[in-house]
Amino acid sequence: MICLNLVYLFFFALFNSQVLEGESAALRDEFSKNDFLQIAFQLDKLSDTKRDLLIKDLDIIVIPTASFSLENSVTSNIAQKITDLTEKKVNILTDKTFERQEIADLSKDNLGTISKDAAKKAGSKNYLAVILFDKSKDAPTNVGIAEGGRTIAFFEGRIAELSETPSVLDDLRVSTVLHEYGHLIGLEHNNNEGCLMNEKVESPGNNWSSSMPEDFCDFELSQIEDLR
């Protein structure tokens, strides 16, 4: 293995990361499977994470806490929608580390550590962690926030305030994860009322409207194609 890594380092002296960005996408994907090469060729950048979330099989790791969890019907719907979008396999995993306690620290570093630890335990290389909280102190109207490239802070306490109808709340839970997933793959907010990346989906005010979008619109789907 050491000799093989030295051979790859020799190629690194000949080909810089710009080459791997272009026509050698297949070589880039192959190198990204090896932790040593991923660092040597600088393939652990945020741009690579965004691309991996879109073009590779994905593990969604749900991290419930003492007060909050997600029903299987919700996570299955999320997995199906991302599968339909990416045409890749999506697995739903659950990390129960915090199921008997709460996570108080919403700092980016802490969320990233929790996500990486969960992925390491699951043996997952390409993952998206969904961590359940009550509400955000910094953005109390938000139902979710995308953090650190692979993490969604999901504010179940805030979502529960928006409707008394279970089916409406489930739709909102799915839309929240998809919206934040959109941010993680590179989409920005837009002003189109019929699009999932409208800012109102992330911060819907006092009431969730049944007219709120639940899927990426044609404009967003075109953007996603450009990101592949």
Q: Which residues contact 134 (CB under 8 A, 6 or more apart)?
A: 67, 68, 102, 155, 156, 157, 158
Long-range contacts of residues 12-19, Cβ cutoff 8 Å, at least 24 apart: 12/40, 12/41, 17/41, 17/42, 17/43
Q: What is the pLDDT of residue 212?
A: 78
Taking all residues of the chain, what is their mean pLDDT, rounded to a whole number? 84
| pLDDT score of 105 | 76
Helices 166-184 + 72-86 axis angle, to 10: 40
Which amino acid is it at 42? Answer: Q
- The two tokens of residue 150 are 């692979």
Q: Tens digits of per-residue pLDDT, 171-208?
A: 999 999 999 999 999 999 999 988 999 999 999 877 66
H/E stretch holding 154: strand 151-155
Neighbours of 220 (CB within 10 A): 21
Q: What is the pLDDT of residues 76-103, one digit of tens each?
A: 999 999 999 999 999 999 999 998 888 8
Q: Is the pLDDT of residue 13 over 50?
A: no
- Average pLDDT, stretch 6-31? 51
CA dihedral 111, 201, 143, 158 (to 10 degrees): 180
Residue bearing the bigger pLDDT, 122 or 163? 122
Axis-axis angle for helices 218-227, 46-55 (nearest 10): 120
CA 197 to CA 215: how far, in whole Å? 9
| 221 vs 46: which has the higher pLDDT | 221
The more confident residue out of 155 and 18 is 155
Lowest-confidence range among 95-109, 111-125, 139-153?
95-109
Query: What sign does the CA torsion over 38, 42, 46, 51 have?
Result: negative
Type of residue at 94: T
**What local confidence, expressed as pLDDT, does residue 22 receive?**
45
pLDDT at residue 19, rounded to an integer: 45
Question: Mean pLDDT throughout 6-35?
Answer: 52
Q: Region 58-72: what's the mean pLDDT?
A: 95
Q: Which residue has the higher pLDDT, 43 or 195?
A: 195
Whether 145 and 189 have beta carbons less than 8 Å apart is answered as no
Q: Residue range 161-179: average pLDDT?
A: 93
Q: Which CA distances in Å does 167 have to 21, 46, 73, 86, 100?
A: 44, 35, 11, 25, 27
Task: Label residue 3 left, alpha or beta by phi (over 0 means left) and psi (-120 to 50 means alpha).
Answer: alpha
| In the predicted structure, residue 23 carries a pLDDT above the cut 50 | no
